[in-house]
């Protein structure tokens, strides 16, 4: 972000958030609510030795306890300013130039670590073979030429941030403003690049509403200034392995907020477009931790896992090595852009209804002939948008051999153990510890026929292993993946039987199919 714009954004964020508190009672409530949450965070030890923060909030508390309403307003503004300054990115064009030169080589090297000799002899493979960027990339570029875009990918792994960033670079875009969790900044190398590539810090340990307001307003202000944004609308990595069904509406709604502000300001390019995209792996780096978390508290995923595979460089390296020694593919599929109401957008930047008829989108926000906000209406508009994004996620999910074979084996397990609850089945594996290979082939074949029919209808996408390979080759590819990298194999062939060893992982990978098919 241009340093001048950064200053403008900071001033605007502080003022807008502050303007929400016109009533003195809400000022006092917000002030002490924030102090409570922040002191609690710091005292619980999750502040990482945040001594300055402790002193800051002690001072605010002492002063606030006996201050006038006017002083409360000033103290609240101090907190908002502190939050805003903490959030803001530190984009440096010189670092960006360096990073964009370095990243492709570094990424390629990382993805080719299977043979050090290869690196030395300069025999780097083609990155495009490993990492496929596809889908509506032309429509994405067209949308960006008509307005501001917000890229909203599915989220399975911390690697998503790096891959999405690389895809943005490969597609020829300038860096996107991106809200990255603090854990990404904890890795010094990645944090350095994140910080300088437009990323702003999101500290999910901060629970105060005021902080969330600042985050959202920051994103909205950058959109208004025309900076493309990226965030994961699921809010966190999918724990179950399934494609996201429910999205967080707060940040997603900032696209509409920015659009209305732009219309009110009569900006020449007021439009904001949402671009869903899916990132699809044959193996997921953090699969074991994520599914374990999912099973621990289904539906109540923790937002912060600080000790997963991503925090261990050796695991990351091992993962990448395995992935690419197996000729694995990662697909990033860009969906057709949407307007902030969930309508499709064509290459000319026009919104289209379900029948493909052009829609005058400005009319959605008009009241008495002028653009206006209406909180309840706008929440519903954002819900419509979220539904469209979820539909795009499902349509553009790429299923591959690990998903399909896990689905077939897990289905067999459930059928052979009727009435056994899920947790028991996962723990014990039921009555039989292995599945006859012939049964597996038959089930894979049946599921594949259904998936191919759905893919032909445009309901889902299939990796080439599911479109081109025969059943035996497809199962072999899946087995090669499922027995590698993870601490123990999910599935292993011994003779003419398949042994289900890590059923949690089978559940994780099969959930991708169950969620979309």
Q: Contact 21/73 with Cβ under 8 angstroms?
A: yes
Q: Does 353 bind other proteins (CB under 8 A)?
A: yes
Residues in contact with other proteins, counted by CB under 8 A, come to a total of 24
Query: Of the candidates 39, 146, 248, 377, which one interacts with other proteins according to CB under 8 A?
Result: 377
Cα angle, residue 458 at apex, residues 455 and 462 outer, rounded to 5°: 35
CB closer to other proteins out of 384 and 439: 384
Stretch that binds other proteins, among 185-193, 371-379, 429-437, 490-498 (CB under 8 A): 371-379
CB closer to other proteins out of 172 and 418: 418
CB closer to other proteins out of 254 and 365: 365
- Nearest of 165, 150, 290 to residue 230 by alpha carbon: 150
Contacts of 313 (CB under 8 A, 6+ apart): 187
CB neighbours (10 Å) of residue 97? Answer: 10
Query: Of the candidates 94, 314, 363, 494, which one interacts with other proteins according to CB under 8 A?
Result: 363
Q: Does 357 bind other proteins (CB under 8 A)?
A: yes
Distance of CA 73 to the CA centre of its chain: 36
Q: Does 355 bind other proteins (CB under 8 A)?
A: yes
Please say whether the dihedral angle defined by the alpha carbons of residues 398, 393, 273 and 362, taken in this order, is positive or negative: positive
Q: What x/- string results for residues 89 through 128 when contact with other proteins is judged by CB under 8 A?
A: ----------------------------------------
Q: Does 364 bind other proteins (CB under 8 A)?
A: yes
CB closer to other proteins out of 314 and 355: 355
Give dist(CA 174, CA 281) in Å, integer.
Answer: 25
CB of 359 to other proteins, least distance (A): 4
Q: Does 348 bind other proteins (CB under 8 A)?
A: no
CB closer to other proteins out of 385 and 444: 385
CB neighbours (10 Å) of residue 130? Answer: 18
CB closer to other proteins out of 362 and 420: 362
CB closer to other proteins out of 344 and 463: 344
Q: Does 360 bind other proteins (CB under 8 A)?
A: yes
Q: Contact 122/112 with Cβ under 8 angstroms?
A: no
- Nearest of 378, 365, 512 to residue 447 by alpha carbon: 512
Q: Does 366 bind other proteins (CB under 8 A)?
A: yes
Stretch that binds other proteins, among 35-43, 227-235, 310-318, 355-363 (CB under 8 A): 355-363
Q: Does 341 bind other proteins (CB under 8 A)?
A: yes
Q: Does 449 bind other proteins (CB under 8 A)?
A: no
Q: What is the DSSP string of 10-56?
A: HHHHHHHHHHT--SHHHHHHHHHHHHHHHHHHHHTTTTSS-HHHHHH
CB neighbours (10 Å) of residue 354? Answer: 7
CB of 454 to other proteins, least distance (A): 18
Q: Contact 466/404 with Cβ under 8 angstroms?
A: yes
Q: Does 242 bind other proteins (CB under 8 A)?
A: no
Helix residue ranges per DSSP H, 69-177 = 69-87, 93-111, 116-120, 127-130, 137-146, 159-170
**What residues line the site for other proteins (CB under 8 A)?**
341, 343, 351, 353-355, 357, 359-364, 366-369, 374, 376-377, 380-381, 383-384
């Amino acid at each position: 972000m241009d340093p001048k714009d950064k200053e403008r954004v900071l001033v605007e964020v502080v003022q807008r958030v502050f303007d929400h508190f016109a009533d003195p009672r809400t000022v006092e409530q917000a002030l002490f609510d924030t102090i409570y949450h922040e002191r609690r965070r710091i005292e619980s030890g999750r502040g990482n030795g945040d001594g300055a923060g402790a002193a800051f909030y002690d001072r605010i508390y002492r002063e606030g306890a006996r201050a006038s309403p006017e002083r409360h307003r000033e103290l609240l503004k101090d907190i908002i300013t502190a939050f805003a300054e903490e959030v803001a990115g530190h984009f440096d064009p010189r670092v960006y130039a360096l990073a964009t030169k370095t990243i492709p080589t570094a990424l390629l090297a990382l993805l080719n670590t299977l043979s050090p000799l290869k690196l030395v002899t300069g025999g780097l493979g083609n990155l495009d073979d490993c990492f496929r960027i596809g889908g509506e990339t032309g429509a994405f570029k067209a949308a960006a030429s008509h307005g501001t875009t917000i890229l909203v990918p599915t989220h399975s792994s911390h690697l998503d941030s790096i891959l999405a960033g690389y895809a943005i670079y490969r597609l020829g875009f300038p860096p996107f403003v991106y809200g990255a969790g603090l854990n990404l900044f904890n890795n010094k190398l990645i944090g350095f690049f994140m910080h300088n590539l437009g990323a702003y810090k999101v500290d999910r340990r901060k629970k105060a509403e005021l902080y969330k307001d600042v985050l959202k307003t920051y994103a909205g202000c950058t959109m208004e200034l025309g900076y493309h944004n990226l965030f994961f609308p699921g809010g966190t990595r999918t724990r179950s392995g399934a494609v996201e069904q429910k999205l967080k509406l707060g940040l997603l709604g900032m696209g509409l907020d920015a659009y209305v502000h732009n219309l009110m300001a009569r900006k020449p390019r007021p439009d904001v477009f949402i671009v869903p995209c899916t990132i699809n792996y044959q193996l997921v780096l953090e699969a074991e931790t994520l599914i374990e978390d999912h099973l621990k508290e289904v539906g109540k995923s923790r937002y912060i896992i600080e000790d997963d595979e991503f925090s261990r460089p050796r695991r990351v390296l091992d993962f990448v090595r395995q992935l690419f020694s197996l000729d694995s593919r990662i697909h990033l599929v860009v969906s057709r852009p949407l307007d902030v109401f969930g309508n499709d957008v064509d290459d000319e930047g026009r919104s289209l209804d379900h029948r493909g008829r052009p829609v005058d989108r400005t009319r959605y926000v008009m009241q008495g002939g002028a653009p206006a906000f209406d909180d309840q209406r706008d929440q519903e508009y954002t819900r419509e948008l979220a539904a469209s994004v979820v539909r795009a996620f499902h349509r553009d999910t790429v299923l591959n051999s690990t998903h399909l074979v896990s689905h077939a084996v897990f289905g067999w397990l459930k059928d052979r153990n009727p009435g056994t609850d899920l947790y028991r089945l996962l723990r014990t594996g039921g009555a039989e510890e292995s599945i006859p290979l012939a049964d597996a082939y038959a089930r894979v074949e049946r599921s594949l026929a259904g998936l191919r029919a759905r893919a032909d209808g445009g309901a889902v996408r299939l990796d080439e292993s599911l479109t081109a390979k025969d059943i035996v080759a497809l199962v072999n590819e899946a087995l090669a993946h499922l027995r590698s990298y993870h601490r123990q194999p999910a599935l292993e062939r011994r003779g003419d039987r398949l042994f289900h060893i890590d059923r949690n992982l089978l559940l994780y990978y099969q959930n991708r199919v169950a969620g979309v098919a």
